[in-house]
Structure 1
């Protein structure tokens, strides 16, 4: 299960902006600033907080320097979701929130290719305004057989009658839910017959579990949460993505000129069209569709996990916070949720005691979702998992990176607080 807020298909052109700055040895400048976004038709734009700067597109193996400036009136914490093994950049355990008007520089070695998420949401509960999210794309070092690469960024909002937006972690009252696609209400993407398009779906929603569906076309899942998967066809073209989750898919366009493929969004209550892919009148890109694509290049995660000698930990989600607490009161002096020896497999049993789905996020490492009998795992890696009420899910990861790392949980409810703990690899 997972949540997908609103879908944004924005062309990804890695040569723009960033690549030039990197080539000249300059850091990539990113600023947290007050901004506004048109969220309602025929109404004034809604004040929000945004991350501004060039397109965040890089190559695997690069070490990127990001110069982050906080131009907000409150402390801000730049969070890069899906970045494994960079303890110095880890929010809260490695970096404190940045004071208003302050600046910092982050060194990010990009070990893995994939789709990541960059935002201010970890420290954003209950603040004056909600914040936007940015995609961070790390390209594979080997060629990938696609014709186009599009980011599908989904965000959701809660708007009051006076046009202001309610930040997450607060009672939404009678506010109106709104989803945007790259800051727009809908998506219209022109495609060509026999073209292969890579769509990087990102659920940048705050709490809601969404499903996105592409009607009338085969949707082949190639990566989950930024890590290559054993390719599989999404059932009925539907993708269910937890808040913060990412799904990379390949879509081969086979229809004739004028064919339309609707994009639908379901929030658990209602489905509505949020966009469409339309085959243009241009000639087919090639005489016939490409053959099925091979798996994406491996990022080097282990092929096998030693479950027999794994360290095993039970973690309760939902219910009373107990040892969990909000990011605003996080202390590195609090005892860790667990300690692991470097290189050892860790199995976590996640039991959701809440009455609604709860989303769990592991930082610093990706994990395998274990089979019910604990004798194998699903053929993909994750860093985010939604656990149904009363359910226990077991996950396993190889503790490869020494350091202190966060774990997060949040119930699938707008008013629910985001809660954190930390774990240590020694």
Structure 2
């Protein structure tokens, strides 16, 4: 069985005189997934799934990454506004970490919340084999607001009963909604049962680290569950009510547990004709009678865009086509397609640009060139028949409006754009650098729906 690593991650730590340095080792590990007869070759950080680290807001965090895989890798700190040199994208900003080598990531996370980390090379296979971890950035302002929290990591596995994996990227999946796994887990387990004290104020940190699936979340048995943070960032609480959690998106959900012992609360995916239960919480132990019933986090402290002075960016998510210049471009530049962590097939594009076929250097021209400190409003239009969770590296943006639905204004680093929908987001351009912008359905990312914004 897989080890959750949750208990260890939540254990108290000694206060050290110097910033603690974490060691993160990526290696292949044989593990038997739930219900399978034989072991699977998983790729894990520190042989745990999920590996969970805790950091403190604005305090130094150091992680020494050791690559024991047979291919090069990196760590991208998804949603964390890290310095450009720490973003973990191969060749931008640093070379990939070769097998047997190490790289030290150092940053002070400026924002509290629920984040995760994963490689940004051969991502579809790496995530498919389990190479992802959780980074929780704590804020002293949150202390005492909740009695208990649980971290719930959602992931499908494309494994067969004998433990072997199916294809992580298929043409049929990449050209449509993605290739789905049949084994659905939370923290590496099928329908795990967790306990909460009766009457407790509960915080669930829910992360979708799957490469494809988009669940609609519901908490059956909980009275008035609310979303209190989106992608780790505090928001005005709104009803959970089937909130769609695209790949790489996170939702912190709060509720007050029933006061009766033995009551059940079920986290379920209602994006189907029949709800799919994912995890169960059961009330047990001594009851709590808290006088603090307000389920809310302190307001997020993020750069607010000046919408009146903002420059508008038009971004169209479109179908792509195979670019015959790709192979010749790579040969001319002495770069193999494998080194670029890309497939040679192109099904998707952003503003009709694909990566990297149109380039004359080691990367194509940027989607836009921005000025650090200036405000921008991007209008994202999805001209395809499939949903796209679009992620911007190094920035947290404000989701402003949708042409198709009533969206509560909220902060995010990944926004789900439905077919024919126009979504407006606002942000302040951050540190100078080339910041990736891509779909987090990884098969879409690796078949064309990837670009970058250049901030100068």
Q: Judge conservation of contact 1:9–1:150 (CA < 8 Å) in 2.
A: no
Query: Compared with structure 1, are the counterparts of its residues 298 and 24 closer, same or farther at alpha carbon in structure 2 (3 Å cutoff)?
Result: same
Matching residue of 2:62: 65
Q: C-alpha distance in 2, partners of 1:35/1:151?
A: 23
Equivalent residue for 1:50, pick from 29, 37, 44: 44
What aligned pairs does 1:342-357 form with structure 2 within 5 A after superposition?
342-357=372-387
Q: Judge conservation of contact 1:21–1:27 (CA < 8 Å) in 2.
A: no
Cα shift at 1:362: 0.9
Q: Judge conservation of contact 1:219–1:251 (CA < 8 Å) in 2.
A: yes
Q: Judge conservation of contact 2:317–2:381 (CA < 8 Å) in 1.
A: yes
Q: Judge conservation of contact 1:410–1:416 (CA < 8 Å) in 2.
A: no
Q: Judge conservation of contact 1:210–1:268 (CA < 8 Å) in 2.
A: no
Gaps of 5+ in 2: 174-178, 321-348
Q: Deviations over 1:374-422 (max 9, x none)?
A: xx98431011112112222121111133322111125587897374211
1:102 equivalent in alignment to 2:128: no
Q: Secondary structure at the match of 1:125?
A: helix
Q: Judge conservation of contact 1:209–1:412 (CA < 8 Å) in 2.
A: no
1:229 equivalent in alignment to 2:222: no
Q: C-alpha distance in 1, partners of 2:192/2:107?
A: 32
Cα shift at 1:129: 6.4
Cα shift at 1:131: 3.0
Q: Secondary structure at the match of 2:401?
A: coil
Equivalent residue for 2:265, pick from 248, 261, 281: 261
Greater displacement, 123-132 / 256-265 = 123-132
Q: C-alpha distance in 1, partners of 2:171/2:273?
A: 19
Matching residue of 2:116: 117
Q: Judge conservation of contact 1:125–1:168 (CA < 8 Å) in 2.
A: yes
Equivalent residue for 2:205, pick from 188, 200, 203: 200
**Higher RCO (C-alpha 8 Å, min separation 6):** 1
Q: Judge conservation of contact 1:210–1:242 (CA < 8 Å) in 2.
A: yes
1:148 equivalent in alignment to 2:164: no
Q: Judge conservation of contact 1:310–1:344 (CA < 8 Å) in 2.
A: yes
Query: Compared with structure 1, are the counterparts of its residues 30 and 9 closer, same or farther at alpha carbon in structure 2 (3 Å cutoff)?
Result: closer
Cα shift at 1:165: 1.8
Matching residue of 1:400: 430
Q: Judge conservation of contact 2:200–2:257 (CA < 8 Å) in 1.
A: yes
Equivalent residue for 1:251, pick from 236, 240, 255: 255
Q: Judge conservation of contact 1:14–1:58 (CA < 8 Å) in 2.
A: no
Q: Judge conservation of contact 2:42–2:129 (CA < 8 Å) in 1.
A: yes
Greater displacement, 155-164 / 166-175 = 166-175
Greater displacement, 210-219 / 51-60 = 51-60
Q: C-alpha distance in 2, partners of 1:128/1:360?
A: 17
Matching residue of 1:300: 301
Q: C-alpha distance in 2, partners of 1:371/1:56?
A: 34
Query: Compared with structure 1, are the counterparts of its residues 409 and 176 closer, same or farther at alpha carbon in structure 2 (3 Å cutoff)?
Result: closer
Matching residue of 1:339: 369
Aligned residues: 409
Q: C-alpha distance in 2, partners of 1:249/1:154?
A: 14
Cα shift at 1:151: 0.8
Matching residue of 2:292: 290
RMSD: 3.1
Cα shift at 1:200: 0.2
Gaps of 5+ in 1: 1-7
Q: Secondary structure at the match of 2:85?
A: helix
Cα shift at 1:81: 0.3
Q: C-alpha distance in 2, partners of 1:268/1:331?
A: 45
Cα shift at 1:219: 1.0
Q: Judge conservation of contact 1:196–1:252 (CA < 8 Å) in 2.
A: yes
TM-score by length of 1: 0.86
Q: Secondary structure at the match of 2:116?
A: strand
Cα shift at 1:359: 1.8
1:390 equivalent in alignment to 2:423: no
Q: C-alpha distance in 2, partners of 1:65/1:369?
A: 31
Cα shift at 1:213: 1.6
Query: Compared with structure 1, are the counterparts of its residues 194 and 122 closer, same or farther at alpha carbon in structure 2 (3 Å cutoff)?
Result: farther
What aligned pairs does 1:136-215 form with structure 2 within 5 A after superposition?
136-142=135-141, 143-160=143-160, 162-166=162-166, 168-170=168-170, 177-215=182-220
Query: Compared with structure 1, are the counterparts of its residues 200 and 331 closer, same or farther at alpha carbon in structure 2 (3 Å cutoff)?
Result: farther
Matching residue of 1:29: 23
